[in-house]
Each structure stands twice: as structure tokens, then as C-alpha cells.
Amino acid sequence: MTRYIFITGGVVSSLGKGLMAASLAALLQARGFRVRIRKFDPYLNVDPGTMSPYQHGEVYVTDDGAETDLDLGHYERFTGVSARQSDNVTQGRVYQTIIQRERRGDYLGATVQVIPHVTDEIKAFATADTDDLDFVLCEIGGTVGDIESLPFMEAIRQLHNDLDRGQSIFVHVTLVPYIAAAGELKTKPTQRSVRDLTSLGIQPDILLCRCEHPLPDSERRKIALFCNVRPEAVIPARDAKSIYAVPEQYHAEGLDREVLRAFGMGDAPPPKLDRWVDIMDRQLNPEGEVTIGVVGKYVGLLDAYKSLYEALNHGGLANRVKVNVKWIDAELFEKGDDLAASLEPMHGILVPGGFGVRGSEGKIASVRFARERNVPFFGICLGMQMACIEGARNTAGIPDASTTEFGETSEPVVGLITEWMSTEGLQKRTAETDLGGTMRLGAYPAKLTGNSVVAGIYGVDDISERHRHRYEVNAGYRERLEKGGLIFSGMSPDGTLPEIVERPDHPWFVGVQFHPELKSKPFDPHPLFASFIEAAVKQSRLV
Ligand code: GLN
């Protein structure tokens, strides 16, 4: 039997529901259960692909090519379970499906309504493809009381009723704020938010209370009494030293025990937490540190590079060093900031993925600095394209090299991809194609050159990595770029799309067209990040 855990949030947003869901899933997994986590997003965009990173943070891409909420990245990093398109649904997608069906006449003359049509669609999404699972955790985005999330609340209320008794529970994440002037933790916001929830017909089984101070027993009992839960099911959730400390911490507070007890499974085996203990040992006891300069565009909002930040951290775990990330706004170099002064203290330079011309000359100048000064360089997606343009301009004698993404150019070293093969057959695009969901998305295989640097790093010649791009390096320039020392060491299996470039004569210089950060895990750091940080450690001994 598949059991369901519905996770809602109250009082304020940004309580870390995603991390909580990921940590609970990790704890259940550590007890031997098979888990999957799903996210319901109440906004009306069909997916977050067209939203600015400033609005929404990073767009997390799955193997099957879905552009999803960044919480799915947490889910994968904590459980190792590859997320799928069917694990993230927005209200926009639900309505899109229903309206398409209505236009086709599939409702046979019925009036199409929120209840039952929208709620049925949400329930179908929650319960699809769950045969091989012990637990499905469903996180509802937003905060109880939002107008937008009402259909989702109603759907989980109904589903709880549709399922067998004891087959589903509700976990509510709330805030217990500390009022410094009174020196007290306040339980009223939690009481109010549970009241909002019960007015929707949902009685939480477990309350996870985010708090900055220890939750005294008296307050725990008070919350229990007013919110109609047992005192042991009021779980304090204080800020953790690291996100990877959260599973152990919640376990110590009894979260997984209470969840299993709510399902009547109190006798489940204890979790094996060795994996998390080892990660925390590496995280808290580093043997050195390195500083990586990330030269990008969305440096004002860390969520915009969430997976990248985590993957750099994982590279540090692999090498037992602390990784300090310095976020550098590429545009400042175009406005006169001293590039050498900013980049000289860095042990590695990374140009991440991105869109649009803003800051691109600053990124290209940063690639040049890394190349000329022998500083480890990692270019990801747009970063690889910038490395190719830099190489073309400064090592291949093509001074006008550019990308068609930035406007018309006589030397399109990077250009729009118009055709490529996917598992669904030949894909075609033009400059007029819709922006939403039409990039080259998801996992694609690549072939590495046998004796290349990257083949050595991966230890294999055939890889599969996740993509999200509309432009590609133009293979027609390969010979000239290679003469300039920039070697094409990874290609799509048909040999048409460049996937990896490297400079073998440099201490560490790799550009990849895909996003390796999306597949890195704390317990399984991505080889490219592990190797890049290893090179940065060597560099730190030189400067
Ligand atoms: N803007 C570039 C493209 O579409 C790179 C995209 C990215 O870095 N994710 O190809």
C-alpha cells in the first residue's frame, strides 16, 4: 500500500517546507522505505521555465526534460531519487489540461468547475504512478489562507477521505516567532494557522514548528492543546548548522517516529543515518578551504544558482575542504570594476549558465583572465559558450566572434540550434518558436574523446547529462578553435553538437554545454565538481 503525506505551510512563506519534505523523505528512505516527493505550485504559469530567476530562483531540470521548481533539486539531493515531470504540477498546468479537454468537448456538455474537475485533476496527479512506492510526500506551495492554493487544499482534503483510513496524514509547517522585548516564543500565529487549516476541513496530524529558540515543554503542550494534536507530535524545528544536518536533527526531535506512529507503523526499523553522519563530518571538519569566484548575472539572489552552490559544496565534501563562493556581478567589469583585483584572490573561476547579453563581455574577460593566469576555470552552459567566444577571439584569430543570442553577427561561433535528435525523434526550432518549454531540455547522451581530460575525470567515455539551452557552439569552427588550444572533447553521439570543450595545456579548463550541478548529491558529488575543487585546492597552495 502506498501511503501519502501531505505537507502544508502556515504563518509565512520561506519556512523551508521543501527542505523539510526532502529531509523527511530521506529519513523514511533510511528506514528502508521507497519514497517519492511531489510539489504542487499554486501559481498560474504552466511551469517556472519562463519566470525570471529573481521571481522564482533556479529552474530545476529533470532527466525527462521538465522545467520545475527548485524544491525538486532538494528532493533529488536528499534522496537520490530522480525527479520527473509528473512530480511537479502548477495550477497553470492543471487549468491548461482542463481547458484543452473542454475545447475538445471531452466533458460532454457538463459545466466545468473547480470542484470536481480541478480537484479531480489534482488528485489524479498526486496518485499517478505510485505502485512501487511506500510513501508519496506531497508538498503544497504557498501558505494556508492564500486564495490560489484553495483548490489544492480542497483536493488533499478529499483525497484523505477517498483513501483508506490510516493511508494519509497531514504535516503542517508553521512558525513560532520569538518576541525579544517580551523574551517569549509566541504560539498564537500557529494556533491561527491551524484554525485556518481546520476551517478547510484539514486537521493536521503533526506540526513542525520552525523556531529560533528552544521550544519549552509548556509551549509545546499549549500548541498541542489548542491545535488538537498530541504533544509529541509538536516537533520543534530549529535552524540547522547546514541543510545536510536537517535529517539528523529532525530525527532527534522525533519527526520520522511521529510520522510512522501516525500511520500506525510505530514498530518500523530505526533509520540508518551513516550517510548523513559522514556528510556532516566532512562539512563541519574541513581540512582546508578554497574560494571560487562565480561570475554571473543573478548574483543578488542565491536561489538563482541553488544547485550550483550545492554542487560546489559537494566538490568540497569530496575533497574535505570548505568552499567559499564569491558571487561576482559580471556587469561590474563592464562598468569599470577592476577585474584583476576581483579575480586574483580566487582559486577557481566559474561562469555559470545564463541568458542574454547583459554582463557577457565581463564573463568573456573573466574567461580570458582564467586562461592567461592558469586559474582553474569551469564554464557551464552559457559559460562554455563564453569560453568558446573568448577562445575564438583571442586564440583563434576571430576577433568578431559572438553568439546569435546577442544579435546578428558575422562570426556565429555560437548559434541557434535548429535541429537535434531526442528520444521523441527529430526536434526542429526557429527564431519564432514559443519561449516556453521549447529549449533542448533534459538528459542527452554525449561521447567523450578517449584520452581527454574529461574522460579521465568521468572515468567513462559515455555520459548522460541534463540540458537547458537554445543555442549551441557551432561545430564548423571546431578546427580553428582546436588550433587555438580549445579541444572539443565531448560531442553528441551523432557528432553534431559540441558538449564539452577543454584546454589540455591549462591546469584545469573545462566548458560543458549541460548542467552537471543538477545531478550532484552530497553523498555522490559530481565528478566534474570534485575535480574542479581538487584543482582549486592545488591552486590555493600556489597563491
Ligand atoms: N542562453 C544560452 C542558450 O540558450 C545558455 C543557456 C544556459 O546557460 N542555460 O543556449
Tens digits of residue pLDDT in 324-382: 999 999 999 888 889 999 999 999 999 999 999 999 999 999 999 999 999 999 999 99
Last residue of a domain, one of 279, 303, 326: 279
- Same domain, yes or no: 312 and 387: yes
The reply to whether 348 sits in an annotated binding site is no
- Within-domain flag for 150: yes
Rounded-to-integer distance, Cα 192 and Cα 374, Å:
59
Which residue stretches of 47-168 are H helix? Answer: 53-56, 71-79, 91-104, 119-127, 150-162
- Same domain, yes or no: 404 and 437: yes
Last residue of a domain, one of 279, 310, 336: 279
- Within-domain flag for 123: yes
3-state secondary structure of 204: coil
131 pLDDT band, cuts 50/70/90, is: confident
- Within-domain flag for 177: no
Residues contacting residue 480 through CB under 8 Å, at least 6 positions apart: 392, 396, 397, 398
Please confirm, yes or no, whether 517 is among the known catalytic residues. yes
Q: How far is the CA of 472 from the centre of ligand 1 (A)?
A: 8
- Same domain, yes or no: 260 and 366: no
95 pLDDT band, cuts 50/70/90, is: very high
Q: How far is the CA of 418 from the centre of ligand 1 (A)?
A: 14
- Same domain, yes or no: 272 and 310: no
527 pLDDT band, cuts 50/70/90, is: very high
- Same domain, yes or no: 351 and 267: no
- Within-domain flag for 228: no
Exposure string for 352-378, b = 16+ CB within 10 A, e = fewer: bbbbeeebbbbbbbbbbbbbeeebbbb
- The CATH number of the domain holding residue 256 is 3.40.50.300
Rounded-to-integer distance, Cα 244 and Cα 44, Å:
32
Greatest pairwise CA separation for the chain in angstroms? 75
Determine the atom of ligand 1 nearest the C-alpha atom of 354.
8
- The CATH number of the domain holding residue 405 is 3.40.50.880
The parent domain of residue 131 ranges over 3-169+240-279
Tally of residues, the chain: 543
Determine the atom of ligand 1 nearest the C-alpha atom of 472.
10
- For ligand 1, atom 6, the nearest C-alpha belongs to 469
- Within-domain flag for 128: yes
Radius of gyration of the chain (CA): 25
- Same domain, yes or no: 24 and 88: yes
What average pLDDT score do residues 226-250 get?
94
- Within-domain flag for 428: yes
Rounded-to-integer distance, Cα 329 and Cα 324, Å:
16
Rounded-to-integer distance, Cα 92 and Cα 98, Å:
10
Residues contacting residue 224 through CB under 8 Å, at least 6 positions apart: 230, 231, 233, 234
- Same domain, yes or no: 14 and 149: yes
Give the Å distances, CA to CA, from 540 to 74, 285, 448: 30, 18, 29
Q: Write down the catalytic residue from 310, 502, 517, 534.
A: 517
- Within-domain flag for 360: yes
- Same domain, yes or no: 371 and 262: no
Rounded-to-integer distance, Cα 442 and Cα 65, Å:
4
Determine the atom of ligand 1 nearest the C-alpha atom of 383.
8
Q: How far is the CA of 473 from the centre of ligand 1 (A)?
A: 11
Q: For the chain, what percent of residues have pLDDT higher than 90? A: 82
Q: For the chain, what percent of residues have pLDDT higher than 70? A: 99
Instruction: Average the pLDDT over each of 245-249, 256-260, 364-368, 438-442 and give the range with the smallest value.
Output: 438-442
Please confirm, yes or no, whether 74 is among the known catalytic residues. no
Residues contacting residue 48 through CB under 8 Å, at least 6 positions apart: 41, 56, 59, 67, 68, 69, 90
Q: Are 225 and 194 in contact (CB under 8 A)?
A: no
- Within-domain flag for 463: yes
Report which of 261, 20, 2, 16 is spatially closest to residue 126, judged by C-alpha positions: 2
Paired strand residues for 412? 402
What pLDDT score does 543 carry? 66
- Which set of grid coordinates corresponds to residue 70? 527548485
- Same domain, yes or no: 275 and 405: no
Number of domains in the chain: 2
Report which of 117, 264, 143, 135 is spatially closest to residue 200, judged by C-alpha positions: 143
418 pLDDT band, cuts 50/70/90, is: confident
- Residue ranges with strand state E in 156-269: 168-175, 178-179, 184-185, 206-211, 234-238
Of 60, 382, 406, 417, the one to substitute when testing ligand 1's pocket (max ligand atoms within 8 A of C-beta) is 382
What pLDDT score does 428 carry? 76
Q: Are 472 and 446 in contact (CB under 8 A)?
A: no
417 pLDDT band, cuts 50/70/90, is: confident
The reply to whether 64 sits in an annotated binding site is no
Q: How far is the CA of 429 from the centre of ligand 1 (A)?
A: 15
The reply to whether 366 sits in an annotated binding site is no
Of 350, 358, 405, 416, the one to substitute when testing ligand 1's pocket (max ligand atoms within 8 A of C-beta) is 405
The reply to whether 492 sits in an annotated binding site is no
Amino acid at 350: L
The reply to whether 359 sits in an annotated binding site is no
What average pLDDT score do residues 91-96 get?
95
Q: How far is the CA of 318 from the centre of ligand 1 (A)?
A: 28
- Same domain, yes or no: 263 and 380: no
Residues contacting residue 124 through CB under 8 Å, at least 6 positions apart: none
- For ligand 1, atom 9, the nearest C-alpha belongs to 353
What average pLDDT score do residues 200-229 get?
95
Q: Write down the catalytic residue from 381, 465, 472, 502.
A: 381
Residues contacting residue 498 through CB under 8 Å, at least 6 positions apart: 388, 472, 473, 475, 478, 488, 490, 491, 513
437 pLDDT band, cuts 50/70/90, is: low
Give the Å distances, CA to CA, from 459 to 113, 246, 452, 529: 55, 33, 10, 14
Last residue of a domain, one of 251, 279, 307: 279
Position 24 pLDDT exceeds 90: yes
- Same domain, yes or no: 292 and 405: yes
What pLDDT score does 264 carry? 94
48 pLDDT band, cuts 50/70/90, is: confident
Paired strand residues for 414? 403, 473
3-state secondary structure of 274: helix
- Which set of grid coordinates corresponds to residue 4? 501519502
pLDDT tens column, 385-410: 999 999 999 999 999 999 999 999 99
pLDDT tens column, 439-487: 889 999 999 999 999 999 999 999 999 999 999 999 999 999 999 999 9
The reply to whether 123 sits in an annotated binding site is no
Please confirm, yes or no, whether 381 is among the known catalytic residues. yes
Determine the atom of ligand 1 nearest the C-alpha atom of 381.
8
Confirm whether pTM is higher than 0.85: yes
Determine the atom of ligand 1 nearest the C-alpha atom of 515.
9
Q: Are 364 and 387 in contact (CB under 8 A)?
A: no
Exposure string for 229-252, b = 16+ CB within 10 A, e = fewer: beeebbbbbeebeebbbbbbbbbe
Q: Ligand 1: residues whose CB is within 6 Å?
A: 353-355, 381-382, 405, 468-471
What average pLDDT score do residues 75-95 get?
94
Q: Write down the catalytic residue from 56, 347, 515, 526.
A: 515
Q: Are 202 and 168 in contact (CB under 8 A)?
A: no
- Same domain, yes or no: 310 and 336: yes
What does the mean pLDDT of the chain come to?
93
Q: Are 489 and 476 in contact (CB under 8 A)?
A: no
Determine the atom of ligand 1 nearest the C-alpha atom of 417.
10
Position 420 pLDDT exceeds 80: no
Q: How far is the CA of 524 from the centre of ligand 1 (A)?
A: 26
Q: Are 235 and 258 in contact (CB under 8 A)?
A: yes
Q: Are 190 and 157 in contact (CB under 8 A)?
A: no
Residue 67: phi, psi to the nearest 5?
-100, 115
The reply to whether 16 sits in an annotated binding site is yes
- For ligand 1, atom 5, the nearest C-alpha belongs to 382
What pLDDT score does 127 carry? 95
